[in-house]
Amino acid sequence: MVRNAKFWTIWVIATLAGGAVLVAGMFYGGKSRANLLIGATSHGHHQIELACNACHTKAFGSASDMQNACMSCHADDLKTSKDSHPKKKFTDPRNADRLQKLAATECITCHTEHKPEITRTGGVTLPVDYCELCHRDVGKDRPSHKDLAFSTCANAGCHNYHDNRALYEDFLEKHAGDSVIAEKPIIALKASPPDSAHAQSPITQIAEADAPAKHAGSEKINGDWLATAHAQAGVNCSGCHAVGAKSAADIAARWNEKPDHNACKSCHQQEVKTFTQGRHGMRLADGLRTEEAGLLGFFENKPLTPMRPALARLPMQSKASERAVTCTTCHGAHAFNTAKAEVDACLSCHDDQHTRSYVGSPHHKLFEAEIAGSGSKGSGVSCATCHMPRETHENPDTYEEKLLVTHDQNANLRPNEKMIRSVCMNCHGLGFSIDSLADQSLIARNFTGRPSVRVESIQWVMNRLKERGVKADAPEVVK
Amino acid sequence: MTKLASKQEWIMKLSTPAKIACASALGVLLVGAAASAKGLEYKDVADMLHSVMESDRTVYTRKVVNRLAVKEKVIKASEHHEDEKTLPLPAQMFRFGAEMVAEKTDKFSYSLLSVWPINKQNAPRTDVEKSGLEFVAANKGQNFYGEETLGGKKYFTAVYADTAVAQACVSCHNEHKDTPRKDFKMGDVMGGVVIRIPMAE
In a domain, A181, yes or no: no
pLDDT at A44 over 90: yes
pLDDT at A415: 93
Tell me the pLDDT band of B11, cut-offs 50, 70 and 90.
very low
Each residue's pLDDT tens digit, A142-156: 888 999 999 999 988
Which of A43-57, B31-45, B122-136 is least confident?
Answer: B31-45
Which chain B residues are closer than 8 Å to A97 by Cβ? 125, 150-151
Residue range B128-145: average pLDDT?
A: 96
Spatial separation of the C-alpha atoms in residues A21 and A43, rounded to whole Å: 29
Which of A135-144, A192-201, A468-477 is least confident?
Answer: A468-477
Spatial separation of the C-alpha atoms in residues A436 and A447, rounded to whole Å: 8
Which ipTM value was assigned to this complex? Answer: 0.80
Q: Which domain covers residue A232, as residue numbers?
A: 195-267
Which chain A residues are closer than 8 Å to B83 by Cβ? 171
Residue range A424-453: average pLDDT?
A: 96
Tell me the pLDDT band of A426, cut-offs 50, 70 and 90.
very high
pLDDT at B4: 37
What percent of chain B stands above pLDDT 90? 74
pLDDT at A313: 95
Each residue's pLDDT tens digit, B55-96: 999 999 999 999 999 899 999 999 999 999 999 999 999 999
pLDDT at B26: 52
Which residue pairs from A259-266 have beta carbons closer than 8 angstroms and sit at least 24 positions apart in sequence?
A: A260/A284, A260/A326, A260/A327, A261/A326, A261/A327, A264/A240, A264/A327, A266/A196
Which chain A residues are closer than 8 Å to B79 by Cβ? 170
**Per-chain mean pLDDT for chain A:** 91
Which chain A residues are closer than 8 Å to B177 by Cβ? 465, 468, 470
The residue among A375, A362, A380 whose CA lies nearest residue A447 is A362
Nearest CB among A88, A99, A168 relative to B102 is that of A88
**What are the beta bridge partners of residue A289?**
A303
Check B99 against A89: CB less than 8 A apart.
yes
pLDDT at A467: 85
Each residue's pLDDT tens digit, A216-267: 889 999 999 999 999 999 999 999 999 999 899 999 999 999 999 999 999 9
Helices (H), A199-314: 219-226, 229-232, 237-241, 248-254, 261-265, 269-275
State the DSSP H helix or E strand holding residue A394, giving kind and residue range, or none if neither. strand A390-394
Which chain A residues are closer than 8 Å to B192 by Cβ? none
Name the phi and psi angles at A37, rounded to 5.
-60, 130
- Nearest CA of chain A to the CA of B85: how many Å? 13
Residue range A175-189: average pLDDT?
A: 87
Nearest CB among B83, B99, B120 relative to A141 is that of B120
Number of domains in chain A: 1
Nearest CB among B80, B109, B177 relative to A92 is that of B109
Check A97 against B129: CB less than 8 A apart.
no
How many cross-chain Cβ pairs, A to B, lie less than 8 Å apart? 48
Predicted TM-score of the model (pTM) = 0.86
Which of A29-38, A119-128, A151-160 is least confident?
Answer: A29-38
Check B109 against A88: CB less than 8 A apart.
no
Q: Which residue of A has its CA nearest to B118?
A: A141
Q: Which residue of A has its CA nearest to B97?
A: A88
- Asked whether B136 and B160 are in contact (CB, 8 A), the reply is yes
Check B109 against A96: CB less than 8 A apart.
no
- Nearest CA of chain B to the CA of A458: how many Å? 16
Which chain A residues are closer than 8 Å to B126 by Cβ? 94
In a domain, A98, yes or no: no
Number of domains in chain B: 1
In a domain, A449, yes or no: no
Residue range B142-151: average pLDDT?
A: 97
Nearest CB among A82, A94, A465 relative to B125 is that of A94
Residue range B14-33: average pLDDT?
A: 52
pLDDT at B27 over 60: no
Burial of A138 (0-12, 13-18, 19+ CB in 10 A): middle
Q: Which domain covers residue B158, as residue numbers?
A: 2-198
Task: Find which of A85, A94, A105 to mutate to test the B interface (most B CBs within 10 Å of its CB).
Answer: A94
pLDDT at A453 over 70: yes
pLDDT at A182: 87
- CA atoms in the 13 A half-sphere facing the CB of A169: 11
pLDDT at B85: 93
Which chain B residues are closer than 8 Å to A100 by Cβ? 151
Spatial separation of the C-alpha atoms in residues A177 and A475, rounded to whole Å: 6
Check B111 against A91: CB less than 8 A apart.
no
- Nearest CA of chain A to the CA of B10: how many Å? 16
Highest mean pLDDT among A290-304, A310-324, B14-28, B163-177: A310-324
